[in-house]
Amino acid sequence: MIDEHQSQEIKISSIIITNRTRKDLGDITSLAESVCSVGLMQPVVINEKNELIDGQRRIEAFIQLGKTVIPFYQVNLEQIFLGEFHANSNRKDFTPSERVAISNAVEKYLEVHSRRSGRPRSHTTESNKVSVNSKSSKNNVVKLTTFPSSPLSYNYRLTGRIKDNIAKYLGVSRNTLEKEKKLIEAAERAPEQFGELRKKVDLGKISTDKAYNDLQKQVIRDQTVASARNSVSDLHLQDGITLLHGDFREHLLKIPDGSVDLFFTDPPYSTDYLSLYHDLAVASGRILKIGGSLVAYANHCLVPEITKNMEDSGLIRQWIIAVKLSGPFAHFHPRKVSVKWKPLLWFVKGGKTSSLDYISDFIESKSAEKATFEWEQNTVEAEHVISRLTVEGQTVCDPMMGEGTSGVAATKLGRRFIGIEINSERFDIAKARISKTTSLSEFIPDNYDSTNTTKGDL
């Protein structure tokens, strides 16, 4: 049998609607209006006998609109139940969305027509008896000797074997089908966030595994943010750490002169944000101690402009530190360059560093230790710089701390830390990451105005 789906339409009058468990079909008018505006999002599903498995509300909406045909998927339930189908069956490949729709429809049908106990039973009555090849119970497969000619006339329950058969019928593993279900559920729950991901999988632009991994990363990220927001009252405050949500240009105005030993930060690299380096230079020139350092990541093309901003504020460029990148490399197309390192610009207030240690001008970056969290950057670069340019108990400030990598490094090394971030989600992630490293505390310098800090929020 050839299974026809999605691109096919069937006369509504040809669909057999048997006794349905669901009596209340809800608001059909709204569904009809949705079909008019955006089309039918999911075709109905029928079996090999044209009996409806899923989609009665969609049928009623089409009837209300005066339509006589409707898109459909057709599946052979008997083949699924018996597991009698072949990998080389003459049928089109289903998209993930189609597979999930069919699988959900079949499972829903089985739940309604199920005893909810036991596997599909062998039937030894003389009527409606069909022989099936006996299977060994070696791999926990139940031996079936006979089966009814029409599975729909008997009660079946949804079992692991049936789920395996559904997946095999659809041409994928059960594990892949479960991942596709998670992707579709996420897209339906949050279309703006995951709808595009679902679309890319259906179009074959990315694999199911890649999309599922991206989904898991985002779920973990969302859970981390939610946890940070919900666990605020459980954090223990002591001297040592200040986390500020907002614009660093406003918050740094309240930091006392000569109170910070090191600024370490990673500003946006675009030319559009060059002014941030100027504002950072002005603030750090006042706040840094004599001999203190400012170390900032930079766009290769903007090094001269950034250097001028810093020197105009009284800072002297000490060196350029090269950070070798790991993993996939970016390409700077305007100049035909594959970017394999990024510069860390090191400036000093007063012309002579107060550091007692040597710092390497070459740092080999590493991928994040926990690949599950794409936002959890490795701290190797921050730790190298902070450990060489400060000692325990001194203060590190990151005015654009992003998701808190510098804060994690500073607290691990026993430094005081002031972190500022304007993006709410990144701020919450940074707070969660730093709180895992140490008991989150707050350091308030002398004469520091705590208005709008996280003291009340934390």
The C-alpha atoms of residue 230 and residue 435 are separated, in whole angstroms, by: 13
Q: Are 317 and 311 in contact (CB under 8 A)?
A: yes
The C-alpha atoms of residue 100 and residue 108 are separated, in whole angstroms, by: 12
339: its two tokens: 């970017």
The model's pTM: 0.54
The C-alpha atoms of residue 117 and residue 101 are separated, in whole angstroms, by: 25
Digits of tens for pLDDT over the chain (458 positions)? 334 334 488 999 999 887 654 556 778 888 888 788 767 767 888 888 888 887 888 899 999 999 999 988 887 776 666 665 554 443 446 778 778 877 877 777 776 665 544 444 433 333 333 333 333 333 333 232 233 344 444 444 555 677 887 787 777 888 998 998 888 888 877 878 888 888 888 888 899 999 898 888 777 767 665 655 554 433 333 458 999 999 999 999 999 999 999 999 999 988 899 999 999 999 999 999 999 999 999 999 999 999 999 999 999 999 999 999 887 778 888 889 999 999 999 999 998 998 888 999 999 987 654 433 444 468 899 999 999 999 998 999 999 999 999 999 999 999 999 999 999 989 988 888 888 775 443 333 334 343 333 333 33
Q: Which of 232, 240, 268 is nearest to 421 (CA)?
A: 268
DSSP 286-347: HHEEEEEEEEEE--GGGHHHHHHHHHHTTEEEEEEEEEE--SS-EEEGGGTEEE-EEEEEEE
11, 30, 40, 51, 167 from 67: Cα distances, Å: 9, 16, 12, 19, 33
Written as one letter, the residue type at 94 is F
- Burial pattern 97-129, b for ≥16 Cβ within 10 A else e, equals bbbbbbbbbbbebbeebbeeeeebbebeeeeee
Helices (H), 242-287: 248-251, 274-287
Say which residues have a Cβ less than 8 Å from residue 351's Cβ, sequence separation at least 6: 316
Residue 441 CB neighbour total at 10 angstroms: 20
The C-alpha atoms of residue 380 and residue 403 are separated, in whole angstroms, by: 15
